[in-house]
Chain A
């Protein structure tokens, strides 16, 4: 019964999405207020039906309703409740439903928080969101229906992939999708602005908080995914340049470019056409990511598989969305007038450099990700592009970003002062290099020029990003100087977070050590000053698995500093083996133990890592996301003013610094 309610809700949601697309768009084109007014209630109804459908699927998982094929394939009565709920989006059908639900939530949010936007503009935004939603819902109903019945129902389910029976599945996909799908909002804003034919700076101001929020969620989602891969896969790595990781990283790079170019468009009225194009491209790459993951063309830990119908459907959908929006762009963008002028050394030109570098970085990732697929599709051989490609192309492209990110906020709009800026930052150079060398001498060896350069870069960015704050504190009296807009703090925090991230990457990549050894109980092995003593293996039973748990004691000198319990689990239903690494984490280092295989006698193969400063990678990612949320909360975005009616001067005086 629950399944049928879900199915019905999905159909109703599709109908609502069609209504939400048709009436407001036509109404806005013909100037029919009544038709335009349909958008809001339709959007909320669509969101409601999607929520009901999603709840029905959750309920079916909780109630172990194995008469639903999707539940039978991805759950089991022995699966703990927590994992039964996250299993809802553990495979293809449910994760597309989650995608649709999140789009419904974003749409409903737009239908509520639009004070001051013109009626026609709201109608167009909702109409475009409705079109996207209708496409996704048709995809679900025709190719990936999670409510399909299985008759006769099997007595028990085939269980969730053990790799996914983890807390990570509960948080990583929802956060990632909130970001991915959230990019549909700036996309719709951009298309609505193109349709209405007026790209005044107010449009950018409305788009900014939405883009920042989506971007912050995307940052958080990617960071969580990286952390999950680190502790779950047992390979000790935090980023693998896996095609599916790239699929989330490319929209992130473009969205990062977008939040910066939106600042220029809002503040200075420049880069208008470019900002619109970036909005289109960012969402297009997010859809491309969906195609790569959902069509089964990729071979990776994420790839769900598939019948070719699904891939074809998404490919056609992708082509329609990108094609139609680019055609609209080509028709309307040439009419956009861009009068703003700026000096070669100004905030505008530095943000332009930021955009060029980020787009180049995204293009290099796209090349490495798609090239093997294209070659394979053309029958020209099977190749794969390994991490060394990405490392060698990506590093030189992003390095200038780290250097420029510190300077950008210090330079004024329109015309910056080269000498004055130089005077403000010059002492940062010896300071950051000197500190890096000192740190290198005290904590590590100094052999690696690259690491030294990267740490200097990180320190430079940390120091310069805090400089405006320090100067504001010095210039004015007391705590009142701390009363800066949230946008300023958000930016500072995000840039500072980037330096924390870079610091973690530089140190952990260079100084992590790894050892694969064969150990019998009582034997110990030394790694990077720590002694790992293997005490033995104990067997235990979990709810749906049997576990061999290793017992390790870690000593620094004579002192015991940690006990670690890595596991090798055998999941009964899927008859598969899973490695659960054990990690003793710390600010300055992680100790990481993963069991390999049982060898003859009592001995086991064991993989050990000591990873210095690795936590700083995710700490940095978290700070960047927090900065995004903080900036999105800036009060100045919510000042009511009807779109299109504000005088330029008034806008400028209240607009937000980037």
Chain B
């Protein structure tokens, strides 16, 4: 094979590989992007119902309710300005507690309740997900900085 032919082979192989990958990537991107919404945005009706999304905020004090016979749990997430009720079935993370900043992944039901498949809290009581911190900042309800240092391990 001449150098020219080989170079052509190389170039076309690379182009083919990259375009297949790009196609797969874009197709997968469409389906698998998770957008983040604040409780205020959800209350304002900005979030679509029926699509997977993430919502974050502080767990409101006194809002956690557990079903005595199953693992179902319900709590209220707030960013200070608005609230959204979250329903979840399963084990909550170790650091889930009232007043803690958390992120829930799931779908918004037609009745306005957020049905979570996953609840995320980080392994640090001082940690607050950056999205949550920003949401609180926007509504002017961010706790004092020394109390909530972002992301300390």
Q: Which residues of A contact B (CB under 8 A)?
A: 90-92, 161-164, 296, 299, 301, 303-306, 338-339, 341-344, 349, 352-353, 356-357, 360, 363-364, 367-368, 371, 381-386, 388-389, 392-393, 396-397, 516-518, 574-579, 596-597, 599-600, 605, 607
**Residues of chain B lying within 8 A (CB to CB) of residue A296:** 150-151
> In the assembly, what is the distance between CA of A306 and CA of B90, in Å?
33
Task: Pull 9 A–B residue pairs with CB atoms less than 8 Å apart, ordered by A.
Answer: A299-B131, A356-B17, A381-B36, A385-B33, A389-B25, A389-B29, A389-B32, A392-B24, A605-B90
Q: Lowest 7 CB-CB distances: which A-B pairs, in order?
A: A596-B91, A305-B151, A382-B36, A389-B32, A392-B28, A577-B94, A360-B21
**Residues of chain A lying within 8 A (CB to CB) of residue B129:** 299
**Residues of chain B lying within 8 A (CB to CB) of residue A577:** 94-95
Interface bits B1-33 vs A (CB < 8 Å: 1, else 0): 111001001100110011011001101110111
Contact: A605 with B95, CB < 8 Å?
no
Contact: A352 with B33, CB < 8 Å?
no
**Residues of chain A lying within 8 A (CB to CB) of residue B3:** 338-339, 341
> In the assembly, what is the distance between CA of A343 and CA of B70, in Å?
66
Known: A299-B151, A304-B153. A516 touches B91 (CB 8 A): yes
Nearest chain B residue, comparing its CB with the CB of A415:
B1
Contact: B130 with A579, CB < 8 Å?
no
Measured between C-beta atoms, what is the minimum distance from B104 to chain A in Å? 13
Contact: A386 with B32, CB < 8 Å?
yes
Other-chain residue from A364, A367, A382, A575 in contact with B125 (beta carbon distance below 8 A): A575
> In the assembly, what is the distance between CA of A383 and CA of B32, in Å?
10
Contact: A305 with B131, CB < 8 Å?
no
**Residues of chain A lying within 8 A (CB to CB) of residue B94:** 576-579
Other-chain residue from A360, A383, A393, A397 in contact with B34 (beta carbon distance below 8 A): A383
> In the assembly, what is the distance between CA of A304 and CA of B153, in Å?
5
Known: A352-B10, A356-B14, A367-B25. A576 touches B151 (CB 8 A): no
Measured between C-beta atoms, what is the minimum distance from A400 to chain B in Å? 10
Other-chain residue from A357, A518, A596 in contact with B92 (beta carbon distance below 8 A): A596
Known: A385-B32, A578-B94, A596-B92. A352 touches B13 (CB 8 A): yes
Measured between C-beta atoms, what is the minimum distance from B134 to chain A in Å? 8
Contact: B153 with A396, CB < 8 Å?
no
Contact: B91 with A597, CB < 8 Å?
yes
> In the assembly, what is the distance between CA of A574 and CA of B91, in Å?
22
> In the assembly, what is the distance between CA of A368 and CA of B26, in Å?
10
Known: A301-B122, A344-B1. A388 touches B151 (CB 8 A): no
Nearest chain A residue, comparing its CB with the CB of B31:
A388
> In the assembly, what is the distance between CA of A341 and CA of B5, in Å?
10
- Main secondary structure, interface of A, reads mixed
B152 within 8 A of A: yes
Nearest chain B residue, comparing its CB with the CB of A298:
B151
> In the assembly, what is the distance between CA of A56 and CA of B129, in Å?
35
**Residues of chain A lying within 8 A (CB to CB) of residue B92:** 596-597
B71 within 8 A of A: yes
10 new A-B contacts, CB < 8 A, other than A385-B32, A517-B71, A600-B66, are A360-B17, A381-B36, A383-B35, A392-B24, A392-B27, A392-B31, A396-B20, A397-B20, A577-B94, A605-B71
Measured between C-beta atoms, what is the minimum distance from A558 to chain B in Å? 29
**Residues of chain B lying within 8 A (CB to CB) of residue A353:** 13
> In the assembly, what is the distance between CA of A343 and CA of B13, in Å?
15
Contact: A516 with B29, CB < 8 Å?
no
> In the assembly, what is the distance between CA of A352 and CA of B27, in Å?
26
Q: Which of B107-153 contact A (CB under 8 A)?
A: 122-125, 129-131, 149-153
**Residues of chain B lying within 8 A (CB to CB) of residue A600:** 66, 68
**Residues of chain B lying within 8 A (CB to CB) of residue A388:** 28, 31-32
B54 within 8 A of A: yes
**Residues of chain A lying within 8 A (CB to CB) of residue B10:** 352
Contact: B21 with A393, CB < 8 Å?
yes
Nearest chain B residue, comparing its CB with the CB of A575:
B125
Contact: B95 with A576, CB < 8 Å?
yes
> In the assembly, what is the distance between CA of A337 and CA of B79, in Å?
62
Contact: B1 with A341, CB < 8 Å?
yes
Measured between C-beta atoms, what is the minimum distance from B106 to chain A in Å? 12
> In the assembly, what is the distance between CA of A568 and CA of B61, in Å?
24
**Residues of chain B lying within 8 A (CB to CB) of residue A163:** 123
**Residues of chain B lying within 8 A (CB to CB) of residue A383:** 33-36
Interface bits B52-93 vs A (CB < 8 Å: 1, else 0): 001000000000001011110000000000000000001110
